[in-house]
DNA sequence: AAACGCGAGCTTGCATACAAGCAAGAGTGC
DNA sequence: GCACTCTTGCTTGTATGCAAGCTCGCGTTT
């Protein structure tokens, strides 16, 4: 009889451990790592590691070269800006969808988020703060009512983990994040969608800035509206 | 010496063949298929099939249940509407980004797309039409200049393949698609971004409608603009 | 007759063995 | 000294063996 009850699969454990090593900088950008070495490093066979490599490749962490190995893809300013712009596009869409569903929907979602923000602020740890940020934005995204975009956003979040890693590693940017989250939730609760939009834009700009990158994510204006072309 | 020169990996072949079987309806929605049967069916071992299953799961074709098998996820009206709305969001963003880059950028991209549209129309086959549609929209998306969103869009396209399969299988919806594509390209070429936006919206609505689903994909208005809440 | 238990046959998950490809370096011929 | 080749060690890709889990149905028991 086995002592382990309902153990998560070795492939999942390998995925998490490798991802953490990537986020902690143990595997540095540009480094070439092989299935075999990682497998012996984790104490498992190559098969689960291979599975984890594929997941990490689809999420943008690794790039697997046939018969060569997998390189840790470096994350640069372009990637950071691209991810934040994508988040801005999707999350503003979520806000607009929520607003279009009516004031009571906004109030409901806003109050729930606000309550959990306060709950988290009571006793927060770096780990819980990181997890809360993920929950906050994913719940906001789900409020749009489009499951397809919700799933897309989750992969997007995994992509930005490496970018955000630098941020959460800093002083306590978590506090700033939390305050901005609460502000967005409050604006939703008070049914001021325009303010929520501005606060969200500022929040993502803040995230980008706190990670050490310059610039400010923005979306292009709707093409063809008066004034775009004189 | 081996007769096969630079053979693509068996895993890739398995992926394509399984995906085609899914698109052709050989594997019907809700059907439970196992690695072993598919492996013997394709004449390879379970390992490449397993790899293909994972890819197909991330793309929304299959859902793998531990120790049970993989079920072909059914695609319903909600999925169709969600995918088309997501496409609308991303592609309108691409148009706006392109317009923001200036008139000459629009003209350049539009003329290139228009030229290839005419090239395709000269001699088209069902297979080439399907491939051309993919190329058209992906190139449009890449014109936005955000690689992250570009990759996201590709996964989105793979997701909509099952939805579009019904459409391309129909009479000759390909002709309608092609005409609408050309219209969008022409609007870009003539530097009328507002018209391009409308034509793209109509095009996606047409795709949804031709697949047998009702409704029309739309985006919510920007929240907080005057008139949203009286 | 009904309910319970348990084993057969399926499945996946992981480890390992084997083949093939790529790169770099040692060695040889010039 | 230089160039060329071949070997050696690494890597991935695929097949296979084995253990464990989940279902279902048959047999036994009550």
For residue range A134-162, list pLDDT tens digits in order. 999 999 999 999 999 999 999 899 888 88
Please name the residues in contact with A109: beta carbons below 8 A apart, sequence gap of 6 or more.
Answer: A98, A139, A140, A143, A188
Burial level of B6, CB count in 10 A (0-12/13-18/19+)? exposed
Query: Which has more confidence, A21 or A160?
Result: A21
Which positions 46-105 of A are in contact with B (Cβ < 8 Å)? Answer: 51, 54-55, 58, 60, 66, 78-79, 82-83, 85-86, 89-90, 92-93, 95-100, 103
Query: Which has more confidence, A227 or A125?
Result: A125
H helix runs in A24-76, sequence order? 35-42, 46-58
Residue A113 has pLDDT above 60, yes or no: yes
For residue B69, list its beta bridge partners.
B65
CA dist A87 and A93 (Å) reads 10
Residue A3 has pLDDT above 50, yes or no: no
Q: Model confidence over A152-204: pLDDT tens digits?
A: 999 899 888 887 776 665 667 888 999 999 999 999 999 999 999 999 999 99
Q: Model confidence over A39-88: pLDDT tens digits?
A: 999 999 999 999 999 999 988 899 999 999 999 998 888 889 999 999 99
Quote the pLDDT of residue A168. Answer: 60
> CB A193 to CB B58 under 8 A?
no
CA dist B30 and B20 (Å) reads 16
Chain B residues within 8 A of A155 when measuring between CB atoms: 152, 155
Query: How far does the CA of residue B40 sit from the closest CA of chain A (Å)?
Result: 21
CA dist A40 and B59 (Å) reads 31
Quote the pLDDT of residue A2. Answer: 41
CA dist A158 and B2 (Å) reads 41
- Flag whether the pTM goes above 0.75: yes
Average pLDDT of chain B? 89
Q: Which residue is nearest to nucleotide C12 (CA to C1')?
A: B67
CA dist A65 and A71 (Å) reads 8
What's B220's DSSP letter?
Answer: P
The mean pLDDT value for B116-139 works out to 91
């Amino acid at each position: 009889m086995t002592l382990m009850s309902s153990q998560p699969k070795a492939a999942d454990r390998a995925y998490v451990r490798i991802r953490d090593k990537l986020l902690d900088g143990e595997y540095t950008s540009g480094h070439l790592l092989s299935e075999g070495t990682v497998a012996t490093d984790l104490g498992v066979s190559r098969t689960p590691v291979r599975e984890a490599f594929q997941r990490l490749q689809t999420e943008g962490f690794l790039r697997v070269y046939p018969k060569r190995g997998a390189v840790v893809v470096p994350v640069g300013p372009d990637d950071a800006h691209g991810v934040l712009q994508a988040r801005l596009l999707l999350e503003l869409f979520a806000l607009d969808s929520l607003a279009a569903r009516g004031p009571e929907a906004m109030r409901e979602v806003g109050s729930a988020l606000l309550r959990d923000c306060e709950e988290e602020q009571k006793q927060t740890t770096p780990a819980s703060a990181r997890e809360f940020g993920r929950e906050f934005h994913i719940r906001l995204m789900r409020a749009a009512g489009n499951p397809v975009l919700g799933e897309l956003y989750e992969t997007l979040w995994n992509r930005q983990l490496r970018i955000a890693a630098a941020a959460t590693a800093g002083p306590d940017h978590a506090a700033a994040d939390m305050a901005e989250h609460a502000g967005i939730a409050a604006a939703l609760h008070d049914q001021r969608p325009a303010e929520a939009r501005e606060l969200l834009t500022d929040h993502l700009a803040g995230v980008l800035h706190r990670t050490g990158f310059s610039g400010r994510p923005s979306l292009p204006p709707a093409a063809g509206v008066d004034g775009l072309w004189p």
